[in-house]
Chain A
Amino acid sequence: MRVLVGTRKGTYVVESDRARKRWKVNPVSNGGREVYHVAADPRHPGTLYAAVNSGFWGPILYRSSNWGKRWEEVATPLTPVAKARPNPFESTDPSPPPRPVQNLWHIEPGHPSEPETVFIGVDPFMLFRSDDQAKSWAPVPGINEHPTKKDWNPGAGGPCLHTVIVDPRDRRRMYVGISSAGTFRTDDEGAHWRPTNAKVEAAFLPNPYPEVGQCVHHVALDPVDPDVSYRQDHGGIYVNRNSMDGDWDRVGKVRGGPKDDFGFAVASAAARPGRAYFVPLTGEPRTTPAGGLQVWEWNDKSRKWRTLMPPRRFPGDFGVHREGMGCDRLDPAGIYVGTTTGQLILSPDAGKSWQQVPFQFPGIHSVSVA
Chain B
Amino acid sequence: MTQPADRARREIGVGERVRLTFSLGNANWQITSGGGTLSSNAGATVVYRAPTTAQPVTISATGGGCTNSITLSIIAPTDVRMTWIDTLHETNTHKIGMHTRIFFLPDTVNFHRVEYLEDEVNNRATGVYSCINGTGHFPATTPFPGTTRVVAGFGTRIGANDEIRSGFCNWGATQGDGRVSWRIPWRYRVRGGATFRRFATIQQVCTSAAAGQLRARKARASARANFSQAGNW
| Co-assembled chains A and B | no
Interface residues of B (CB under 8 A from A): none
Interface residues of A (CB under 8 A from B): none
